Amino acid sequence: MDKTHPYDKVYPVTWEQLQRDCRALSWRLVERGPWTGIYAITRGGLVPAAIIARELDVRLIDTICITSYDWQKQGEACSLKCPEGDGAGWLIVDDLVDTGRTARLVREMLPKAHFATVYAKPEGRPLVDTFVTEVSQDTWILFPWDSTPQFVPPIAKARE
């Protein structure tokens, strides 16, 4: 395994699949509300937060701005914009929890908030309260905002 890109597998997620998974997450969260508001972790949590906010009828949405990824390489989590308070009554939404670096930083900022992600990997899973789908640690989740459909030659043609 290449240590600069520790992902052996790719799990492509379509817009339709993301919509279904966010709705499934919303079903798990609706009984835990009502919520004061939603904090979307940027950038990956923005789209899931919008879908979940609609499903839970939450109108107050803010962001927590964290940076930790560069194309298939995770670095140190760094906060660019921090929320106020301890998070009581708030829902934190992110697209996934991977190693837990971002989740740990956000948990320190908002220890009383409920943390939900659409996808979870084993290393980060203990840091979130609610998630929908678990994938292996060596899987790169390819989100629809990071990809585009393109022509792929038939297998027989690609072998020529």
For strands 73-81 and 90-97, give the pairing: unpaired
- The active-site residue, picked from 2, 70, 86, 94, is 94
Per the annotation, the verdict on 129 as an active-site residue is: no
Contact at 8 Å (CB) between 53 and 26?
Answer: no
Q: How many Å apart are CA 47 and CA 51, to the nearest integer?
A: 6
Asked whether the beta carbons of 15 and 146 are under 8 A apart, the reply is: no
Residue 146 bears catalytic tag? no
The one catalytic residue in 57, 62, 98, 129 is: 98
Catalytic residue among 2, 8, 62, 95: 95
Distance in angstroms (rounded) separating the CA atoms of residues 33 and 60: 14
Instruction: Kindly give, in sequence order, each residue whose CB lies less than 8 Å from that of residue 138, ignoring residues fewer than 6 positions away.
Output: 1, 6, 7, 8, 9
Question: Can you read off the two tokens belonging to residue 122?
Answer: 């084993």
Q: Is 95 part of the annotated catalytic residue set?
A: yes
| Residues 128, 98: Cα–Cα separation, whole Å | 11
Tokens (6 digits) for 100: 């837990």
Residues that are catalytic? 94-95, 98
